[in-house]
Amino acid sequence: LSPDCSFTCHYRCRALVRLDCSGPAGAADEDDGNEQLLEKDTNVDEPSEWEKTELDQAQVEQRIKEYNSQINSNLFMSLNKDGSYAGFIKVQLKLVRPVAVPATNRVPSLQAGRPHPQGVKRRTSFYLPKGTVKHLHILSHTRASEVIDALLRKFTVIDNPRKFALFERSEKDEQVYLRKLGDDERPLRLRLLAGPSEKVLSFVLKENETGEVNWDAFTLPELHNFLLILQREEEEHVRRLRHRYACCRQKMQEAL
């Protein structure tokens, strides 16, 4: 348990944790608050300006040339003979809840002298580090749901893919806009139409907040963890409200 940020981990995992907890108290809370104030969610049914754009083969080829001329890395797009194209997208994993991965340790049998030949299937949960980024090489016809599946495989996450959603993030007039992509939308096509600028368009993997959560897809330990997380979030929200009103009350008293 860290005295600065209250991070808790298993004692065997302590050597693997790399966190910088030396920042001033309250700095992280302030940044998170500003990020939440700047973000604005939009409906998945509202297509972006790029989704409405249709390109013929000549326009696709021209766009790829313009795209490759604007990047400073080797993450180029390439046109295939069948008319499709391939390229890279960068996805930021911005997950609040822990993810489940398979545990490799075998569990000894409860009956002495009769070990289980296959061992016992186990799973463990952990929080992905904040700001985790992954590059994926995909095709123009790769769907958003397939991108989610590929990301989960990269990190050996065994959670149900329906728990997650891919969002497009854009910045305009000092405002951050988030739009959840539909399962059949093609991220590389959006990347080509928007250009390489991360401010114009970037991709974020977040929890799928649909309002219709299939709680049966979660295991019992996960549900207990969610209850604990909700309780901590509620307590933190109450603490921030009390601190804000205490500051206002103090300023009023000073003015009086």
CA dist 188 and 165 (Å) reads 16
CA dist 100 and 124 (Å) reads 5
Buried b (16+ CB within 10 A) or exposed e, 1-16: eeeeeeeeeeeeeeee
On whether the pTM is more than 0.85, the answer is no
CA dist 35 and 27 (Å) reads 13
Q: Which of 138, 127, 192, 48 is nearest to 148 (CA)?
A: 138
pLDDT per residue, tens digit, the chain (256 aa), is: 444 555 666 656 666 665 555 544 444 444 444 444 445 555 444 555 656 667 788 888 999 999 999 988 888 999 998 889 999 999 999 988 888 888 764 444 434 444 444 544 567 777 888 788 999 999 999 999 999 999 999 988 888 888 899 999 988 888 888 889 988 999 999 999 999 998 899 999 998 875 666 677 777 887 888 888 889 889 999 999 999 999 999 999 999 9
Find out whether 227 and 234 touch, Cβ atoms under 8 Å.
no
| pLDDT at residue number 142 | 95
| pLDDT at residue number 135 | 93
CA dist 147 and 131 (Å) reads 18
Find out whether 135 and 75 touch, Cβ atoms under 8 Å.
yes
| pLDDT at residue number 133 | 92
| pLDDT at residue number 106 | 46
| pLDDT at residue number 99 | 85
Buried b (16+ CB within 10 A) or exposed e, 96-105: ebbbbbeeee
For the chain, report the end-to-end CA distance as a whole number of angstroms.
43
Q: DSSP secondary-structure letter at 26?
A: T
Q: Give the angle subtended at the CA of 137 by the CAs of 73 and 197, to the nearest 5°.
A: 45
| pLDDT at residue number 119 | 46
Mapping DSSP to helix (H, G, I), strand (E, B) and coil, where does residue 236 land? helix
Q: What's the CATH number of domain 38-101+121-207, 3.10.20.90, 2.30.110.10, 3.65.10.10, 3.40.50.970?
A: 3.10.20.90
